[in-house]
Structure 1
């Protein structure tokens, strides 16, 4: 949606539903239920000393949360233990749209190429629309097409993004046993009926680890194209003509050595207020895992309310967990089709000797 006025109107329509207060009041219990089920599934699959693919379970959890929030009923993929056709199609859509954003001409022609793989990549929006077809009200309500488009967007934005962010967070922490132990000790102090607000206020190290994980492994670190408005604009000493396509992308900004030193190391302490090497105001301004300005991700509060409780529940109930031998730096190398994923498309861990707490 390029028209700023139309975008502002649409954003106002959804803003209240995505507010932090509304999410906490209406959906925290639902989200907590799915998170607890996901951690129980991790324990069940790993109880015999077998490796557990947490990326798969994080994806099932996120899809169940997103579907419940969008449709009022979960897809129940966690209970079934596998993704449904909707999510399979969605995965293809993410790849196709990611490539199409960089190569628009390929988006236009790809669906007509005589190869099943390429046709699936660019015809998935049609298939998703079939899944999400909903009747709209008359008057100023959204049209059928608008509703379908928004449902697709919200589901895409709320499923793989959260799943991959949580996967990389757990992986990064398990790489450092001392950090893992400190976070486990921190979350162990929470009451049994802890809330997201408790984690936010009482678990500074976990919150810092989440921020650092989003810095290095935010789900959408690539280019976010924008069109220069009429008349053009002077920016940083350069004139950008109207209708030029420009982009910012978090990947480079989050690795700027002038803002984050050392830029490639996972150092949660840089986000702690008492740290001598804490992130500067300029560094915080450059942190854009959810975008920036008027186009900031509407679902940011949902994402944090997924990440904080899910991470806390995992480190509370699965102490001493480790990376499985199959999970290496190479297998977790970023693969980017607009949204990132591990190159191996899995992240296996082994539960600690204590098992589920």
Structure 2
């Protein structure tokens, strides 16, 4: 017994120590195991093709329907591509603010790679040093408050030319989308490289060709492409989208090349890096000087230079024309809103004056009309899809690296949990608390221009240009439908959400001083 007791006393501490060690190791092991969050829920689809056969042509509406069944975040397989659709402001905030650096990349479709020189522009370039450099140059040289103010003369000249053009066509039906596209196109071209299509040429001949090329490019960017969903088939270009996009883009590129060659042949840059032209430089001149004389780290390639120019002209033209079309149609659909806009313009501007940009901050109701139109008909219904550079967690779900992320702002902008009477056109909702909803990207319930580091780079100019064009057209004319026609507000899905049929309306002069039209 004494021996047994001695053994027991000897081994008890050892056993206790072993148990403590094992217990500690087990807890350490449990803590080291990472709980892998599941993928978001979503429709099953079919083998190989996934959900492709069920999408239809109205992707924004299909995504909204699926959100009802699967919640504010769900996955959807399109061929070999995994996509995640987000329809909640809270989850959008996680993507564009909390994890902005991770989700700042693009998953550019093949057509976009063609028109962006392989993802070498501001819109489709992956987040990185080159993208930051191009964006910084664009913002610094074109979008500072000083530069926007100094370029007002250009905008004023082009708008006044267009008012005269419309006056000469008074009483005749005018395609509003084509008109505003021409205004935006000439304004952007003048600001960017100092040349425009002169006179009626901007609505015919060369100007019309250029405008159509831009419109066709947006169609190719939006067209579903088998090559994007099944990359192994990309070499065959089965739908010929890549081929057609290249042909279209070459026309646009030739125009830009000719402008650049003309400028360089004039010898406007000397060896010391000082431009020989003393008047205010346009963006092309500035970019050429940066390319020639900045250090290698701050310089840009000729490809990047052309990409920046095309980004500005194409995006600025198409977005301004699209939203002008929507705003004008919405006002004609709601006569009381049109009456209030005219009353405000008469009070602030007067019928014996032209609209100036200095009037714009005082046009509160027109601003509310534009914001309400962006809510119901956002130019970019899913913004530009993002792509995480590494796997991440959003809303408690795993989002694998390389997933295409759709932020469904079309659905959020019509969410009855956020908006009272969400399907009704009520500009007054933006007058109640003007500071709550703006274009800054800080309110995730309302993001017509995006948010975070990928927010629309041209936002300051786009907002001012759109408001100025609309105020001028609405101030100078009454607009009515041609006899026997009906106004419709159906949309056509694409990377830019357009009216199914562009608005055609008859202008009638409303200013008392006819010299304002000359």
**Which residue matches 1:293?**
452
Q: Is 1:337 the counterpart of 2:494 in the alignment?
A: yes
Kept after mapping to 2: 8 A contact 1:184/1:316: yes
Q: Is 1:179 the counterpart of 2:337 in the alignment?
A: yes
Gap runs ≥5 in structure 2: 1-124, 262-287, 513-518
Taking structure 1 as reference, are residues 211 and 255 closer, same or farther at Cα in structure 2, changes over 3 Å only? same
Q: Distance in 1 between matches of 2:200 and 2:188?
A: 13
Gap runs ≥5 in structure 1: none
Q: Distance in 2 between matches of 1:245 and 1:238?
A: 15
Aligned match for 2:312, one of 132, 154, 157: 154
**1:110-168: CA deviations, max 9, x gaps?**
995697x8843453233322322247534442111111222221111100110111111
Q: Distance in 1 between matches of 2:400 and 2:128?
A: 18
Structure 1 residues 2-21: aligned runs within 5 Å: 2-19=126-143, 21=145
Q: Distance in 2 between matches of 1:39 and 1:95?
A: 29
Question: Post-superposition shift, 1:106?
Answer: 8.2
Task: From the CA coordinates, give the structure whose radius of gyration is larger.
Answer: 2
Taking structure 1 as reference, are residues 257 and 228 closer, same or farther at Cα in structure 2, changes over 3 Å only? same
**Which residue matches 1:229?**
389
Q: Distance in 2 between matches of 1:274 and 1:339?
A: 28
Question: Post-superposition shift, 1:211?
Answer: 0.6
Question: Post-superposition shift, 1:329?
Answer: 4.7
TM-score by length of 2: 0.60
Taking structure 1 as reference, are residues 77 and 193 closer, same or farther at Cα in structure 2, changes over 3 Å only? closer
Kept after mapping to 2: 8 A contact 1:326/1:348: no
Q: Is 1:75 the counterpart of 2:232 in the alignment?
A: no
Aligned match for 2:427, one of 268, 272, 287: 268
Q: Distance in 2 between matches of 1:310 and 1:178?
A: 21
**1:45-101: CA deviations, max 9, x gaps?**
2x2x33222111111111101111111122236554323433322222111122268
Q: Distance in 1 between matches of 2:128 and 2:379?
A: 25
Question: What secondary structure is seen at the aligned counterpart in 2 of 1:351?
Answer: strand
Taking structure 1 as reference, are residues 329 and 20 closer, same or farther at Cα in structure 2, changes over 3 Å only? farther
Q: Is 1:219 the counterpart of 2:379 in the alignment?
A: yes
Aligned match for 2:407, one of 239, 243, 248: 248
Structure 1 residues 299-318: aligned runs within 5 Å: 299-318=458-477
Aligned residues: 346
Structure 1 residues 314-325: aligned runs within 5 Å: 314-319=473-478, 321-325=479-483
Kept after mapping to 2: 8 A contact 1:111/1:118: no
**Which residue matches 2:366?**
206
Q: Distance in 1 between matches of 2:422 and 2:442?
A: 11
Aligned match for 2:172, one of 39, 50, 53: 50
Structure 1 residues 55-204: aligned runs within 5 Å: 55-76=177-198, 78=200, 80-82=202-204, 83-99=207-223, 104=228, 109=234, 119-133=243-257, 134=260, 137-138=291-292, 139=296, 140-191=298-349, 192=353, 194-200=355-361, 202-204=362-364
Aligned match for 1:347, one of 503, 509, 518: 503
Q: Distance in 2 between matches of 1:100 and 1:110?
A: 16
> Deviation above 6 Å: which 4+ runs of structure 1?
278-283
Kept after mapping to 2: 8 A contact 1:61/1:77: no
Kept after mapping to 2: 8 A contact 1:322/1:351: yes
Taking structure 1 as reference, are residues 152 and 241 closer, same or farther at Cα in structure 2, changes over 3 Å only? same
Query: How large is the RMSD of aligned CA atoms in angstroms?
Result: 3.1
Kept after mapping to 1: 8 A contact 2:177/2:503: yes
Kept after mapping to 1: 8 A contact 2:322/2:498: yes
Q: Distance in 2 between matches of 1:101 and 1:272?
A: 42
Taking structure 1 as reference, are residues 293 and 258 closer, same or farther at Cα in structure 2, changes over 3 Å only? same
Kept after mapping to 2: 8 A contact 1:54/1:167: yes
Kept after mapping to 1: 8 A contact 2:226/2:239: no
